[in-house]
Amino acid sequence: MALDSRPLPKFLTEESYTYRASDPIAASRYTSEDFAKLEREKMWPRVWQFAVRDEDLPEAGDFVVYENGGRSFIVCRRDDGSIRAFHNVCVYRSRKLRTEDGHADKFVCPFHGFAWKKDASFDAMPCSWDFPHLDPEVMGLPQAEVGCWQGYNFLREEKGGPSLEEFLAPLPTHLKRWRHEECTTVVRVAKQVPSNWKVVMEAWHTIVTNPQLLPFTGDCNAGYRT
Ligand code: FES
């Protein structure tokens, strides 16, 4: 790091390395459906996942369909300005409520017409006299936790575990100088890669393959956090 052509932020020079072994791991982690299934069951429901930027939901009623790991969520702006995330599935016969982003005052199931408000509470059903056994009080759409950091809204399917701040630490401190809360999305680029997600979650190639990013990082900076 001392060889970098620009001065480094102090936090990149702080030593916090703990050896956690570096033996090769089985390549099957990247190819095995059984391993991916375990990730879907045990990992994805318990981690915070970035879903939408604030500017993706400018008005009350705006919503985004966020999907990952076999789950589908509606992330919606409520009338009071807060953001909620709930399972994108009808609690009556499991029909998906929405397939695309959009704007809605309520979410009406396209199969039998049960409807939910944008705070995930149950709204109404056709022919309600035929369903005296259904209690609207317990028919809300199951919700995920939502947390926000500098305009990035994250969701976590299962409640409990570290808060979003604890989960992200120490990155918010490191990224503070980039003032993401003052930024807005200009363009969104996506590509579907037919591979396990871990294959594309790698950044060590940046220095050689994406040197245009170096003004925002550095020539040779690497920090290890435990
Ligand atoms: S499946 Fe949703 S109302 Fe019937």
Q: What's the pLDDT at 217?
A: 67
69 Ramachandran zone, left/alpha/beta (phi>0; psi -120 to 50): left
Q: What's the pLDDT at 225?
A: 60
Question: 109: Cβ below 6 Å to ligand 1?
Answer: yes
Domain carrying residue 82: 47-188
Question: 126: Cβ below 6 Å to ligand 1?
Answer: no
Question: 95: Cβ below 6 Å to ligand 1?
Answer: yes
Q: What's the pLDDT at 224?
A: 60
Cis peptide before 172 (omega within 30 of 0): no
Instruction: Give per-10-residue mean pLDDT for the chain (226 aa).
Output: 75 76 90 95 97 97 96 97 97 95 96 94 94 93 97 96 94 87 93 90 81 72 59
Residue 69 domain flag: yes
What is the tally of structural domains in the chain?
A: 1
SS3 of 153, please? strand
**Cβ-based burial of 142 (10 A; exposed 0-12, middle 13-18, buried ≥19):** exposed
Q: What's the pLDDT at 110?
A: 94
Residue closest via CA to ligand 1's atom 3 equals 112
Residue 27 domain flag: no
Residue 16 domain flag: no
Question: 111: Cβ below 6 Å to ligand 1?
Answer: yes
Q: What's the pLDDT at 223?
A: 61
Q: What's the pLDDT at 46?
A: 97
**Cβ-based burial of 147 (10 A; exposed 0-12, middle 13-18, buried ≥19):** middle
Q: Which token pair is 202?
A: 């790698």
- As a whole number of angstroms, the distance between CA 226 and CA 217 comes to 20
- As a whole number of angstroms, the distance between CA 225 and CA 182 comes to 27
Q: What is the Å distance from ligand 1's center to 187 Cα? A: 36
Residue 163 domain flag: yes
Residue 199 domain flag: no
Q: What is the Å distance from ligand 1's center to 96 Cα? A: 9
Residue 101 domain flag: yes
CATH number where 57 lies:
2.102.10.10
- As a whole number of angstroms, the distance between CA 194 and CA 16 comes to 36
- As a whole number of angstroms, the distance between CA 29 and CA 18 comes to 23
Residue 61 domain flag: yes
Question: 114: Cβ below 6 Å to ligand 1?
Answer: yes
Judge contact between 77 and 59, C-beta under 8 A: yes
Tokens 């199969």, residue located: 111
27 residue type, one letter: A
**Residue among 110, 51, 113, 118 nearest 82 (CA):** 118
Residue 162 domain flag: yes
